[in-house]
Amino acid sequence: MVVVQRSRHSTEFKAKVALEAIKGQRTMNELAGEYGVHPGQIAQWKRQVLEELPGLFSSKRAKEARGEEELKASLYQQIGQLKVELDWLKRKLELPTEGKRSLIEPGHESLSVVRQCELVGLPRSSLLLPAEGRQRGEAAADAVDRRAVHPDAVLWAQADGGLAGGAGTPGEP
């Protein structure tokens, strides 16, 4: 038994044969004899070229729109995946309030304290900022009922764990 190895043709060769077939000046059998390819293969290449031909002249906008749609679909998929992962993490992050407080980084360059509290499921009002990280109107002020504290007052956590406050920051009159 003789095993015939399958021949592979370059894209240039396929295009040349398909173009000859599209011209229609010679029959498929004549082309098959000349190029050493089965007539059915030539017909398949011709059909492929004719199907792809309109796409060569399609507008650039259609290609860009298709690319944008693919990008948008990919981004929506990533957003969905991140949401699922975040929800899973929140369920797994069953820490006591003190443990969640330890995860908050007041000086983070990209995430605000408010967003960090939302991400770990910590009420912002339960967070007291240390003296070096306090700012007017931050979480320390929210920790006390606003009816009992003047809106302009600034509260900060002291080293002993107590609260201090005043009309401005410490050291200001």
Q: Directed axis angle between helix 11-23 and helix 39-56, to 10°?
A: 90
Alpha-carbon distance of 33 to 35, in angstroms, equals 6
pTM over 0.75? The answer is no
- Tens digits of residue pLDDT in 24-81: 999 999 999 999 999 999 999 999 999 888 777 777 777 788 889 999 999 999 999 9
Confidence of residue 16 (pLDDT cuts 50, 70, 90): very high
pLDDT at 165 over 70: no
pLDDT at 147 over 90: no
Largest CA distance in the chain: 104
